[in-house]
Every structure is written in C-alpha cells, then in structure tokens.
Chain A
Amino acid sequence: MEISPDAWVLYEWMGLRLNATILFTWVVMALLVLGSWAITARLSEAEAVSRWQALLEVIVTAIRDQIAEVGGGEAGRYLPFIGTLFLFIATANILALVPGFQPPTGSLSTTAALAICVLIAVPLFSIGERGIGGYLRAYLRPTPLMLPFNIVGEISRTIALAVRLYGNVMSGTVIVGILISVAPFFFPVLMQLLGLLTGLIQAYIFAILAMVYIGSASRNRSAPDGAAAPQETAGTGN
C-alpha cells in the first residue's frame, strides 16, 4: 500500500520524476486559478454582483478578517500568502473525496515545502516590517542566553507545522484505505465525512498558525517581551 503519493511516479525523464503529488498539485492549482479567472474576468463593481463573485468576496473578506484578527495591523500584506495557504490546503483536502484523487497535502514533501515557505516567510515579513536589525535582535530576547533556544524553537516549529498537516491528511487517507478492506460499505463513508471536516480544520489551522508566527515575529517591536509565547503554545493543540 502506498502511503505517499510521492511514490506514485507517472513519468520520468532524465532523473526528473513527475509523481502524483506534483500532478495533483497542478490539478488543484489549475482549478483554483481557472475558477478565479473565470469569475474575476466578469467582475462587477456595481451594487449587483453575481453569486460566484459574492462567494469569492465572502471568502476573501473572511480570510482578511481572520488575518486582521490574529495578526492585527495591515491584512493586505499577508493576504496573498496566508490566503493561498488556506485555499490550497482546503481545496486539496476537499478534493480527497473525489475517487482516484490523491491529495498532495498527504505527501510529507508537500507539507514540508509549505512549512519551509512559512519558515522563510516569517523572517521576510519580519524584516520587511522592522528591518534586519530588529529581526535579529528578537533572537537575543529576553537575554542572549536564549539564542540557541530561539533557533531550535524556530526550526521545531516549522517541523511541527509540516508533520501535523501531513499526519492528519495522510492518516485520513490511510484509515479510509484500511477500513475499506475491513468493512467496505458503511464506515468508509463516515470516515470520508470526518476526513472532509478534518481537512478543512487542518487548512484553517495551518493558515492561522502561519499567520500567528508571522504576526508574532512582526509585532515584537510594539510588545518586545513575551508577546509571542502564548501564541506559540496554540500551535501544540493538534
């Protein structure tokens, strides 16, 4: 039984393998981009809008409000990054319902890639906000003795983010596979429903945690000590 879609190689050329993870990622991307393009090509700026536009506006507004609620400040800067994280993971997890679709989020490679993106984005946003000196000084707080712990915390946080998403998505797929072999009719349906819920929750948690990391790193200027600590503990919940 295949655990990761990485192992499902569809095409190989000169050592470059096109596996199922990349293929289904492209499917998700195509779906998102084409859907957005199809709707935003006929955007209405008047009071009357189409229901698809209204749906997109609701989604974008909700994401923006969540970002403003968690990170505070200017939501527009983080919207493309955080919003794309959420939309990509959520779409991939929902599409897991489609028979034959292997969600790319079930691959540790994908979740690691997303976590690495967050790992890189946090200092980038923080430097953009406070300058490189301000960002580096945050590692020496509250005392320079904490420098190694801060570095370890940064790395472990990224690993935890990646493994959490991977584990949840992959486990759902694996459990469904096992249950189909044991009780083929009833349980898989329930587990699929559960997987749908879990997938959406995971998308939400991943995006929110990323925002929390970015926000805590960027906000240290106004709250120099201890502001990040309670938000980091939120990441241990799942």
Chain B
Amino acid sequence: MQIDWLTVVAQIVNFLVLVWLLQRFLYRPIIRAMARREERIATRLAEAQAAREAAEADADRVREQQEALEARREEMLGEARREVAALRARLEADIEAEIEAKRRTWNAHLQDEREAFTARLRQRAGHQVIDIVGRVLRDYAGSDLGGQLAATFADRLAALDAGERDKLKRAAERAEGPARLDSGIALKPGTRSRITRAIHECVGREIEVAYHEDDALILGIRLTIGEQTVEWSAARFLHRLETTLDEVIEGGGRHRPSPAPATG
C-alpha cells in the first residue's frame, strides 16, 4: 500500500478536468436538450389547448348564429304565414262583397225586368180583355163598351149610401175647380152627358165635370171631387191577374202586395 503523492495530485487535476469536460460535453447539453424538449412539449400542449378552446369558442359562436338564424327563419315564416292568412281573408272578403254586389245588381235587374214584364203583360192583357169585352158587348148587346161603362158607373153612383153622398156633396162645395173624371177609354159625347147627368142627380146640379183619359185605369171610371174619389174600374181584376202572375213567376215564393181597389 503506497501512495504516490505526485500521482495523487495528477489524478486530482485529471478528475477536475474530467468534471469540467463532462459538464461541457455531457450534462449541460443533455439537460438543456431535455429542458427544451419539455418546454416545446409544454408549449405545444398549451397551443393545442388554446387551439381547442378557440375551436370550441368558434363552435359555440357558430351554433349560436345557427340558432339565431333558425329563430329568425321561424319568425319570418310565421310573419309570412300571418300575412298570407290576412291577404287571403281580405281577398275572400272582397270576393264575397263583389259576389254580393253582383247578386244584388242581378236581383235588382231581375226585379226590374219582372216588374216591366208584369206591367206590359197587365197592359196588354187589360187592353185585350177590353177589346174582347167591347167586341162582345157590341156584337151581342148592340151597345158600345163606353155606354155600358157609363151605365154601370151611374148605377154604382146611385147605389151610394147617404153618408157617402154627403161627403161628396161637402167636397163639391169646398172644391174650387171642376170635378175630374178619368176614364180608361175614350168616351163618346152621349156617354159623357149620361155620366154628367148621373153626377148632377146624385151629387149636385151645379157641378162641372172635366173629362180626361187615363190609360192606367184600362177599363173603368174614376170621379175626383176635391179630396173625395169614387172609382169603378177593371183594375181590381187586373190586380188579381197580376198577383196570380207573380205567384207563377216566383214559383209560390215572394208575393207582391197588390194594390187594393178603391172604394166604389
């Protein structure tokens, strides 16, 4: 066992040199490399985490936008549906109103045409009846229709009760102008004088009579003294005929009120 102190010193120096060299070539590079690698890994992990968070945030934002779009779309669809419903209701109402107006117009036209037709029919039928009656009267009774009419009117005037005659007399006293006599047909002078005589006998001698023709009476006579009127005419028969025609035309539906025959 011997110690060579020179060798000891040399070995100490050798060892310190080796420490320095290994620190230079081994420990420092290795530790630095490991530290950098750990740092890199940590950095990449952090980046990955950040990227992931960013991606999640993006996904959240996109989802929110999508939901907002969906909500907006639903809202717009609902609005459009409401508008369509309102438009449809308005159009339907317009169409119904238009149809109703057309129906009313059509009904009015129909009514007018029916009334015109009825009036024509009444006139023609009345004249036809008068012609027939006149011809029959002339052929078989040797008299004209005006004479018969005057005789009938005179009879009816004579058949008036006392109260109605008084009314006519008082009306004649109050009246300023002449009495008015309307007839559906032209009366001959003889017939007129018969009627005037009958009026003088029943109402008063001083009454003047003015003769007029009124086609609306068709066949008949109307005496107007002041506010009092005495009438006998074929109008009531024609009104009845008109009522019957209305019933036929409407198929038993609506009835037009037929004008009642005046007193007489």
What residues of chain A have their CB less than 8 Å away from a CB belonging to chain B? 3-4, 6, 16-17, 19, 21-22, 25-26, 29, 32-33, 36-37, 40, 43-47, 53, 56-57, 60-61, 76, 79-81, 83-84, 87-88, 104, 107-110, 112-114, 116-117
List A contacts of B248 (CB < 8 A).
none
CB pair B14–A22 under 8 Å, yes or no, is yes
List B contacts of A44 (CB < 8 A).
33
Q: How far is the CA of A110 from the CA of B1 in the complex (A)?
A: 12
Nearest Cβ on chain A to B8's Cβ, whole angstroms: 5
Interface residues on B, range: 20 to 34
Q: How far is the CA of A120 from the CA of B10 in the complex (A)?
A: 16
Please give me the 3 A-B residue pairs with the lowest Cβ-Cβ distance, nearest first: A113-B11, A36-B26, A109-B7
**In chain B, residues 7-34, which have Cβ atoms closer than 8 Å to a Cβ of chain A?**
7-12, 14-19, 21-23, 25-27, 29-31, 33-34
Q: How far is the CA of A22 from the CA of B3 in the complex (A)?
A: 13
CB pair B2–A29 under 8 Å, yes or no, is no
**B45 CB within 8 Å of chain A:** no
CB pair A33–B21 under 8 Å, yes or no, is yes
Which B residue sits closest to A110, measured CB to CB? B11
Q: List 10 A-B pairs, Cβ < 8 Å.
A: A17-B6, A26-B14, A29-B21, A32-B22, A33-B18, A33-B22, A80-B27, A83-B27, A109-B5, A117-B12
CB pair B11–A84 under 8 Å, yes or no, is no
What residues of chain B have their CB less than 8 Å away from a CB belonging to chain A? 1-12, 14-19, 21-23, 25-27, 29-31, 33-34, 36-37, 40-41
CB pair B7–A22 under 8 Å, yes or no, is yes
CB pair B11–A47 under 8 Å, yes or no, is no
CB pair B15–A60 under 8 Å, yes or no, is no
CB pair A80–B29 under 8 Å, yes or no, is no
CB pair A104–B11 under 8 Å, yes or no, is yes
Nearest Cβ on chain A to B152's Cβ, whole angstroms: 140
Q: Which of B6, B30, B40 has the most CB of A within 10 A?
A: B30
Q: How far is the CA of A43 from the CA of B3 in the complex (A)?
A: 41
List B contacts of A43 (CB < 8 A).
29-30, 33
Q: Which of B22, B34, B36 contacts A84 (CB 8 A)?
A: B22
Nearest Cβ on chain A to B153's Cβ, whole angstroms: 139
